[in-house]
Amino acid sequence: MEANVFIKIDYKKDRPNPSQLFEAMSLYISAYEQFGQILAKSIDVKQEFKFHLEDIQISSIKAKLIQSPSIIHDFFINRVASAGSKLFEQLLETDETETEEQVDQLAANIEETLINDGLGNEIDSHIDRKALSHMLGTVSKANNLILKDEIVEFGSPSYSQNINTKWRFAGDLSTMFLGLKETIIAKDYLYVKIAINEGKQLWTFKSSKMNKTFTARILVKDWIKNYQSGLIPPIGPKDTLLAEFSYDLYKPYDKRKTAEVRNVKIISIEDIVRGGSDEQFEIPA
């Protein structure tokens, strides 16, 4: 059977604001296209999803996925429909999703569906939680336009699921899944990769223990003035600065990604160690 993913709205014949139907359909289409891209990215498959309006009847409007056998494989299309049905089945159990934990659970269940369908066995399939939360926000906007007793259906001939049109996404998309930021004050021996002999530009430092090269602004004005005026001898490639500094340690919500050091500021410089030092600070995990 040819894969056929569709979105269908059964609406009231005498409903007010009929233009909202097309707005709702546009949002549902956008959400399903987003969902397809999320799944494709999760299993490292390059796919493009586009829907077109297939049919308008009395009390019904339907959109269908534009597909080309050379571009979108039927097996993958059916998996999108299967995972979509699983997602919307979960939303039947609640009328609101708000927290990162709730979105994370939805994503974990989709990942399990991919594994059960044979798509996630060979690779580490991972659903982008932030992208999924935006997709859910789009579905919520569409649901706002659907009247009581109107029915929205997603799926394919093999997998289909009615939408809980009472469900809403109440999370703050601007703050969800941004990761954690911790401001740390540390002391370390830093190699100087690029020193600034004039002006207030950022210096570049390296810490072999942290295995990090980063730029930083030196806030010790007297030290900068003395260095740039020649009162402090130039710092060589084997010299280190024993410095106290602050930085923001950004930990992405995706634990597969490494933490990043940002916004480094040199607070004080205690000494210049000519020839380097083996005593260095280790970045927190």
What percent of the chain stands above pLDDT 70? 83
Q: What is the pLDDT of residue 203?
A: 94
Return the domain boundaries, the chain. 6-169, 180-273
Please list, in sequence order, all residues whose beta carbon lies within 8 angstroms of the beta carbon of residue 118, skipping any fewer than 6 positions away.
none
The 10s digit of each residue's pLDDT in 32-44 is: 889 988 888 887 7
Bridge-based pairing state of the strands 96-97 and 168-169? parallel
pLDDT at 1: 45
Check residue 48 and give its pLDDT: 65
pLDDT for residue 71: 47
Domain 180-273 grouped into CATH 3.40.50: no
Give the pLDDT score at 97: 97
- Per residue in 103-112, pLDDT (tens digit) is 999 998 888 8
- pLDDT (0 to 100) of residue 67: 55
- Residue for token pair 């000519």: 274
Report residue 23 as tokens: 């707005």
What letter represents residue 172's amino acid?
D
Place of tokens 């956008």: 30
pLDDT at site 155: 78
Amino acid symbol at 198: E
- pLDDT score of 59: 74
Q: Which token pair is 82? A: 């299967």
Residue 254's φ and ψ, nearest 5 degrees, are -80, 105
Those residues of the chain that have pLDDT short of 50 are 1, 69-71, 120, 122-123, 280, 283, 285
Token reading at 153: 């259906």
pLDDT tens digits, 116-137: 766 545 445 788 999 999 999 9
